Amino acid sequence: MRDPDDLIARAGVRGDPDHDQHFLVDDRVLDRLPTYLESEAQRASRDASGSDPLDEIDAETSHVLEIGGGTGALTDRLLAVADEVTVVERDRVLAAFLREEFREEIDAGRLTVIEGDALEVELPDFSASVSNLPYGVSSEITFRLLPEKRPLVLMFQQEFAERMVAEPGTSEYGRLSVSTQHYAEPELVETIPKEAFSPPPAVQSAVVRLEPRDPDYAVDDEDFFLRFVKAMFTQRRKTIRNAIRNTTHITNLGAPDAVVEAADDELLQKRADAMTPSEFAELATLALAVGEPEGD
């Protein structure tokens, strides 16, 4: 495997925190990241057999997408486990370096470097993604990837990761938890100290594994459901009864009182942070049916 410090030296760059550039320099962390594509049970059985993680990975690695390639330390590990890798990098100098450093892999058709903004470029049909995300746009990128319903292993600021995996009734639980868990089952698999990066970011990081799944509830209109959840959490300290009445500028409900009249009283007395995703779905479905949403 290429040495991460050598890659930075060869690229002749210093990560610029203002452009979300924090390069991973801890080999052990880099080696572990692709293995999180496996489930917990698969990882445990491999650990028990003592096999080399990068040799034995048992996951869908036909085409792995990496957002934010940097100097290529993670790209190198992904090439070791995947048939094909596509890396997106916005920085012109870094994209040129990746094309030079990985010329052989590119010529062999195993690596594609896309220079551009991950929020704008056309993404390939990938089988999984493993990425150390640019934190400034991590939410937007994640919600671009989640609807594709592929396994994702993504690095975030720790506090963000904790909100993604949070359960109802906790202070971290919010709109981010419900919308993440609508698409996938998230698992916080490892926290990463600042020293694993060069330059170190301001806060600790964490790796989240996101296994795509269909939710255990049905929604007729996904956009309305997500907008309804957003609306309820803008009124976190209010009861759902008041939140429904106070947020018509977000939900576009023409008849919020009709929703309140038709809804189960027990739900109406709750606050958003005590509502399970399926309870939100139940209310959103009712709101669509009787709340006269405008423009839907």
Ligand X SMILES: C[S@@+](CC[C@H](N)C(=O)[O-])C[C@H]1O[C@@H](n2cnc3c(N)ncnc32)[C@H](O)[C@@H]1O
Interface residues toward ligand X, by CB under 6 A: 19-24, 67-70, 73-74, 88-91, 94, 117-119, 132, 134, 137
The nearest distance, CB 157 to ligand X, in angstroms, is: 11
Backbone angles phi and psi of 254, in degrees to 5 = -80, -25
CB 149 within 8 A of CB 137: no
- Measured CA to CA, the distance from residue 131 to residue 279 in angstroms comes to 32
- Measured CA to CA, the distance from residue 270 to residue 275 in angstroms comes to 7
CB 253 within 8 A of CB 287: yes
Q: Which is nearer to ligand X, 119 or 274 (CB)?
A: 119
DSSP class per residue in 174-229: SHHHHHHHHHEEEEEEEEE-GGGEESPPSS-EEEEEEEE---SS--S-HHHHHHHH
| Token pair 């990975």 in the structure block, residue | 57
The nearest distance, CB 239 to ligand X, in angstroms, is: 39
Q: Which is nearer to ligand X, 89 or 282 (CB)?
A: 89
Q: Which is nearer to ligand X, 116 or 169 (CB)?
A: 116
Q: Helix, strand, or coil here: 153?
A: strand
Q: Which is nearer to ligand X, 115 or 221 (CB)?
A: 115
Q: Which is nearer to ligand X, 11 or 260 (CB)?
A: 11
Q: Which is nearer to ligand X, 23 or 160 (CB)?
A: 23
The nearest distance, CB 132 to ligand X, in angstroms, is: 3
Residues 6+ apart with CB under 8 A from 243: 231, 232, 234, 235, 272
Q: Is 162 annotated as a binding residue?
A: no
The nearest distance, CB 42 to ligand X, in angstroms, is: 23
The nearest distance, CB 25 to ligand X, in angstroms, is: 8
* Closest of 209, 207, 187, 208 to residue 196, by C-alpha: 207
The nearest distance, CB 194 to ligand X, in angstroms, is: 12
Q: Which is nearer to ligand X, 75 or 251 (CB)?
A: 75
Q: Is 37 annotated as a binding residue?
A: no
- Measured CA to CA, the distance from residue 203 to residue 201 in angstroms comes to 6
Q: How far is CA 278 from CA 23, 119, 168, 229, in A?
A: 39, 30, 11, 11
The nearest distance, CB 165 to ligand X, in angstroms, is: 20
Angle (CA) 115-120-123 rounded to 5° is 70
Q: Is 265 annotated as a binding residue?
A: no
Q: Is 68 annotated as a binding residue?
A: yes
Give the tokens for residue 170: 């906790």
Q: Is 132 annotated as a binding residue?
A: yes
Annotated binding site for S-adenosyl-L-methionine: 22, 24, 68, 89, 117, 132
Annotated binding site: 22, 24, 68, 89, 117, 132
